[in-house]
Amino acid sequence: MDRPLTKSEEAVRAESVRILETGVGELLQPPDVEAFRMWNRAKSKEMVDKRMSEAEAVRRFIKPGDYIGTELYGTVRCPMSLVHEIVRQGVRDLRVAGQGVLELDMLLGASLVKAIDLTYIGLEVYGLSNCLRREVESGRVETVVEWSNAGIAWRFKAAAMGVPFIPVRSMLGTDTLKFSAAKVIEDPFTGLPIALLPALILDVGLIHVHRADACGNAQIDGISGFAAEMARASKRLIISAEEIVETEVIRRRPDRTIIPYYLVDAVIEAPFGSHPGEMCYRYARDEEQIRNWVEASKTSETTAGFLDKYIHGVTDHQAYLDLFGEARLEGLKGGAPGREP
Amino acid sequence: MSDQPYNASELLICTASRLMEDGTTAFIGTGIPMLAASLAQKMHAPNLVTIFEFGGTGAILETLPLAVGGGCTFNRAVAASGIRDIVETAQRGFVEYGFLGGAQIDPYGNLNTTVIGDHDHPKVRLPGSGGGNDVGSNCWRTIAIMPHDRRRFVEKVDFITTPGYLTGPGAREAAGLPRGTGPYRVVTTLALLSYHPESKRMQLLATQPGVSVDQVIESTGFDLLIPDQVEANPAPSAEELRILREEVDADGLYI
C-alpha cells in the first residue's frame, strides 16, 4: 500500500499475538470464567446460619477427585481441623494447590493426593518433606505441575477478578515455567515477553480465620497471606474460625472483613484450629508436636501410626485437642507473637 | 574449620550480613538470611527494611521466626499485607536484595530447588520453587547462600527453578525478566563469589579465612573465573559473634 493506514483501517487489521512458549504441564483446572459466573450466580446470597461440624462440612462439600486449596500453610493459620477431617473420612484422589507444610504433608502421608499444582511442599527449618518424596518418587502422585508461590496467588487473583489469565514477570526463562501450564507471549503493548498464568478456580477452598459470624463473614488479624484471593477463587468455601462472633461485631468493623458471607458455604467453630501451627495474637506453634510429625513422617509405617493416633483414633477436633490437654494448649497462648500482655 | 572459634553457619551469617546495606530493602527467607538481617540491623544497618513473603514489611527481628508466615515476620512491623502485595512490590522494582538457597547452582547462578534427576521420574523430589523464583525474577540483586562442594556447584543444574543469568549475557532480558536484575553474590562456606560483568559467569571475589584459592577451585564442579586479585574475607569479629550468640539467636535455634 502506498499510503499510511487510516486509524479505522488500522483498528480492523487483525493482529495476532505471538505465543513464544507454552509450558508442558497439565492444566489441572480449566479457567472457565463463564461457568464460574454461572456457578456464582446460582449461589445463595441469603445471610443464613451456616454453622456445622468439620465432619458435616467435609462430607457435604468435598468429593473424591475434587481440586482443593488451603491457606495460609501448615504451621501458620491453617485449617488443620478440616485437614484432619479429610484424612479421617479418607477423601481420595484429591488434586491440590500447594504451598504447604503440615497440611499437605498429612494429605500426602495418607496417600489422598493424585495431582499437585506445586509451589513449595517442605518442612521449612526441618528440611525436605518425606511424604512428598515418597508419594512423588513412587509415582503415587500422578501429576506434578510447577509454579512459584506468587504464581499460584496470582492465579487465584485472576479467578477472583473473573478473568481467564493474569500477566506476570515471574517464572520467565526457567524450567519452572516449562513444567507449568503457563504461556509466554509477546506483550502487544510493550513487545516484551510476558508470562500468562491461567486463572485457578478451586472446587473447594479451606481457610482458617480469627473470627467469623454464623453466616461466614470472616476477619483475619495480621498478615493475610492469600486468603482474600483464594476465597474469591473457590466454588465452595469452608471457613473455620477460632471464634464465632455475633454479626453485630462484624458490623461494627466491616473494614476488617476479608471474606464476605456470600462466598462461604460452611462455618466451623474450631478453637486451636491451626494446631500444631500458630495463630498470630492467639497462640504459638506447638514445636513438640511439629517435631513429632517431622519424626513420624520419615517412614510410611510411622506416618500411619501418627495418623492413627491423632486423627483416626479420635472422633473430632475437640477429642483431638483433649489428647493435649488444656494446660498445654493454654501454655501456647503465652508464646503467641504480638499477643497483648 | 574445626579449629576456628566459630562454626560454618556463623561464618555464612556474618558474611551475608556484611552485604546488607543500611536503608535498603531485603526480601528475607527463614534461616540464615533472617539471622544475617537481624545481625545487620544490630551492627551497621539499623534501617534495613526486612520484607517477608507472606506480608510482613519492616519487622523488628526481636525473636527469630521459624516460618516465613510466622508472627515474628511482622513483629512491630510497619505493614502486614499479603503475598501478592509483597511480590508485586518486588515486581515494581522496590526490593533491592533477595536471598536464595538451593540444592544446585551453575556458573550463571541458576538455582535448582525442584528435582534431582528427571522431572517426571525424579531421583529426589525437592520442595519446589516456593518464593525462590519470584525473588530471583524480580529483586534487583540476589544473593545465594550455600554450602560449597562439587555436588552443589555444577556445570548444569538438573532443573532451573530460579533464574540466574540463564544461558549468559542478555538471556534474562530476552526471556522478559526485568531489566538490570540478576545474581549479585554467592556466599559459601569457602568463599564470597560474584559474577563477571561481561560474561555473567561466576567468579571468585574472596576466600573465607583459612581457605586457599585451590580449595575453592577443587570444590567447584565448573570452571570458576579467578581474577588476578582475590581478597581474603575477614573472619567474623568478636563483636559480630557476641551479638549473634547473645542477641540474635540466644536460644541457639539455628547456630
Q: What is the pLDDT of residues A48-92, one digit of tens each?
A: 999 999 999 999 999 999 999 999 998 999 999 999 999 999 999
Summarised one tens digit per residue, pLDDT across range A169-227 is 999 999 999 999 999 999 999 999 999 999 999 999 999 999 999 999 999 999 999 99
Q: Which residues of B touch A122 (CB under 8 A)?
A: 126-128, 130
Q: Which of A75, A144, A151 sits opposite B67 (nearest CB)?
A: A75
Residue A38 lies in a domain: yes
Percent of chain A with pLDDT strictly greater than 70: 96
Residue A72, preceding bond cis, omega within 30 degrees?
yes
Percent of chain B with pLDDT strictly greater than 70: 99
- The grid coordinates listed for A243 are 471464634
A261: phi then psi, degrees, rounded to nearest 5? -55, -35
pLDDT score of A341: 44
A119 touches chain B (CB under 8 A): yes
CB pairs under 8 A between A and B: 199
A139 touches chain B (CB under 8 A): yes
Residue B21 lies in a domain: yes
A105 touches chain B (CB under 8 A): no
User: Is B1 a residue whose pLDDT tops 70?
Assistant: no
A-contacting residues in B 54-113 (Cβ below 8 Å): 54-56, 63, 66-75, 80-84, 87-88, 91, 110
3-state SS, chain B, equals: CCCCCCCHHHHHHHHHHHCCCCCCEEEECCCHHHHHHHHHHHHCCCCCEEEECCCEECCCCCCCCCCCCCHHHHCCCCEECEHHHHHHHHHCCCCCEEEECCCEECCCCCEECCEEECCCCEEEECCCCCCHHHHHHHCCEEEEEECCCCCCEECCCCCCCECCCCCCCCHHHHHCCCCCCEEEEEEECCEEEEECCCCCCEEEEEECCCCCHHHHHHCCECCCECCCCCEECCCCCHHHHHHHHHHHCCCCCCC
B130 touches chain A (CB under 8 A): yes
Q: Which residues of A touch B110 (CB under 8 A)?
A: 174
CB contact under 8 A, B133 and A223: no
B53 is catalytic: yes
Residue A99, preceding bond cis, omega within 30 degrees?
yes
Number of folded domains that form chain A: 1
Nearest CA in chain A to B128: A120
Please name the residue that has the C-alpha cell 554467592.
B186
CATH of the domain at A189: 3.40.1080.10
User: Is B255 a residue whose pLDDT tops 90?
Assistant: no
CB contact under 8 A, B83 and A338: no
Q: Residue B2: pLDDT band by 50, 70, 90 thresholds? A: very low
Compute the nearest-CA separation of A270 from chain B (Å): 20
Q: Which of B72, B91, B125 sits opposite A137 (nearest CB)?
A: B125
A128 touches chain B (CB under 8 A): yes
Q: How many angstroms separate the CA atoms of A333 and A327, rounded?
A: 10
Number of folded domains that form chain B: 1
By residue range, what is the domain housing residue A63?
A: 19-334
CB contact under 8 A, B66 and A147: no
- The grid coordinates listed for A22 are 507454552
Q: How many angstroms separate the CA atoms of A299 and B65, rounded?
A: 28
Out of A4-13, A178-187, A214-223, B230-239, which region has the weakest mean confidence (pLDDT)? A4-13
Residue B253 lies in a domain: no
3-state SS, A259-309, equals: ECHHHCCEEEECCCCCCCCEECCCECCCHHHHHHHHHHCCCHHHHHHHHHH
Residue B104 lies in a domain: yes
A133 touches chain B (CB under 8 A): yes
- The grid coordinates listed for A169 are 514477570
Enter the DSSP assignment of A17. P
A148 touches chain B (CB under 8 A): yes
Residue B109 lies in a domain: yes
Q: Which of A72, A174, A195 sits opposite B69 (nearest CB)?
A: A72
Q: Which residues of A touch B56 (CB under 8 A)?
A: 223
CATH of the domain at B31: 3.40.1080.10
Query: What is the mean pLDDT of the segment spanning A155-171?
Result: 98
Q: Which residues of A touch B69 (CB under 8 A)?
A: 72-73, 75-77, 223, 225
Residue A230 lies in a domain: yes
pLDDT score of B66: 82
Q: Which residue in B10, B53, B96, B240 is the catalytic one?
A: B53
CB contact under 8 A, A128 and B162: no
Residue A339 lies in a domain: no
A23 Cβ contact partners less than 8 Å away, ≥ 6 residues apart: A177, A178, A179, A180, A181, A182, A183
Residue A1 lies in a domain: no
Burial category of A235 from C-beta neighbours within 10 Å (exposed 0-12, middle 13-18, buried 19 and up): buried
Summarised one tens digit per residue, pLDDT across range A252-286 is 999 999 999 999 999 999 999 999 999 999 999 99
Q: Flag whether the pTM goes above 0.80.
A: yes
By residue range, what is the domain housing residue B53?
A: 8-248
Q: Which residues of A touch B129 (CB under 8 A)?
A: 119-120, 146-149, 151, 176
Q: Looking at per-residue confidence, does A337 or B163 come out higher? A: B163
ipTM of the predicted assembly exceeds 0.90: yes
Compute the nearest-CA separation of B234 from chain A (Å): 28
B235 touches chain A (CB under 8 A): no
Angle B239-B245-B246 from CA coordinates, rounded to 5°: 85
Angle A131-A137-A143 from CA coordinates, rounded to 5°: 95
B-contacting residues in A 285-314 (Cβ below 8 Å): 285, 287
Q: Which residues of B touch A72 (CB under 8 A)?
A: 54, 69
Compute the nearest-CA separation of B44 from chain A (Å): 26
CB contact under 8 A, A171 and B137: yes
Percent of chain B with pLDDT strictly greater than 90: 86
